[in-house]
Amino acid sequence: MKINNFIIFFMIFTTSIFAETLKDYQNLLKKVDNLVTFEDTDLSAEYTIVKRDPDGATSTNAAAMFRRDRTDQFLILILEPVVDKGKGYLKIGDNLWLYDPVGRSFTFTSARERFQNSSARNSDFRRSNYYKDYQVISGKKTSLGKFDCFLLELDAVSEDVSFQKIKIWISEDNLVRKIEDYSLSGQKMRTTAIPTYQKVGERWVPKKIVILDHLIYMEVSGKNVYERTTISIDNPSLKELPDTVYTKEYLEKVNS
């Protein structure tokens, strides 16, 4: 009888500890989101995106990105390559529009799809929303190079995300350092590294992001070489922007 009581007590105790830990991890996601979300200001910056194909060929895109986190809007205007200059991506709610300055037309595109044919997804430019979009399944302490991190496994609770399962490494300063994206079936899709951040105002912006696309690879000397995209983010600015920037009319205006 005493043993049974002990077992019941032990189970309740461990379950509550476990639940409490998961709750703590979930709250950690809120802190992560808060650190990189600019609720009070607009954020704009220059993005340079260099894609290296598995065969070594490289291509470069440059873009100006304008983001308003409080309304979950963004506008991206392509600067390079010249043939795509003026092309723009505009996010209004869940709808993402792609403006083609040649045909002067707006077409649908998906927030989940590849940005300018690189390993980056259009959704990588929106505000961080781990707390609302994912639920922590498990977590543990680990190390990642010089960083002591929490490694969390997350399952999506929102249909709007690009990947249904992810693993994220969060360093002690509550910044996401590494992400592994998985499909629902568990296939690894992408690995993202953010080794360096830059602090602007009270919030943080990645300085450099490296993405490996595990679906595009080539075997070289017995080693799988993946498509690799390196994103450099420069000259971040918190200058307030007019509301009209996040509109279709603005895209038409800058291309007239």
Partner 1 sequence: MNFKHNIIFSIIFIFLVFSVYPQQENESIDDLFEEPAEDIVVEDTATDHLTQFEQEDKVNFSGSFSATGGGAVGWKDTPDFADPLKGLDAEVGAKSLARVKFQAKPDPDFAVTGNFYTEIDPGSGDTDWSDAEIDELFCDYTWLDTAFIRIGKHTMSWGQGRLFSPGNLMSGSEDGVAFRVSFPSVLSGLSFVSLLDENLIPSDSSLSSKDVAAGALLDTLIGSYYYSVGARYQRYEGLRILNSLKRVVYKTDLFTDLVFTYDDNKEEYFFQTVAGFFREWADFKLYGEYCFDGKTYGGDDHSIGIAVGYNNIFSSPVDFGLEWKHGFMDNSGKFLPGVSWSPWKFVKAYIAVPVNYGTSGSRYYNEDDEDLSGRRVACVMSLELSASF
Selected from 112, 137, 158, 183, the binder of partner 1 by CB under 8 A is 112
DSSP E strand boundaries for the chain: 42-52, 58-68, 73-80, 88-92, 95-100, 105-109, 134-144, 147-156, 165-171, 176-182, 188-200, 203-220, 223-237
Stretch that binds partner 1, among 5-13, 19-27, 91-99, 129-137 (CB under 8 A): 91-99
d(CA 177, CA 192): 8
Q: How far is the CB of 29 from partner 1 (least distance, A)?
A: 20
Stretch that binds partner 1, among 2-10, 16-24, 107-115, 131-139 (CB under 8 A): 107-115
Selected from 2, 141, 159, 186, the binder of partner 1 by CB under 8 A is 159
If DSSP codes are grouped into helix, strand and coil, which group holds residue 139? strand
Applying CB under 8 A, does 235 fall inside the site for partner 1? yes
Applying CB under 8 A, does 31 fall inside the site for partner 1? no
| Minimum CB distance to partner 1 smaller for 22 or for 200 | 200
Applying CB under 8 A, does 144 fall inside the site for partner 1? yes
d(CA 28, CA 99): 37
Selected from 22, 35, 151, 238, the binder of partner 1 by CB under 8 A is 238
List binders of partner 1 among 32-51 (CB under 8 A): 44-46
Instruction: Tell me the C-alpha to C-alpha distance, in Å, between residue 116 and each of 98, 128, 145, 192, 232.
Output: 11, 21, 31, 17, 15
Selected from 25, 61, 66, 182, the binder of partner 1 by CB under 8 A is 66
Total number of residues binding partner 1 (CB under 8 A)?
71
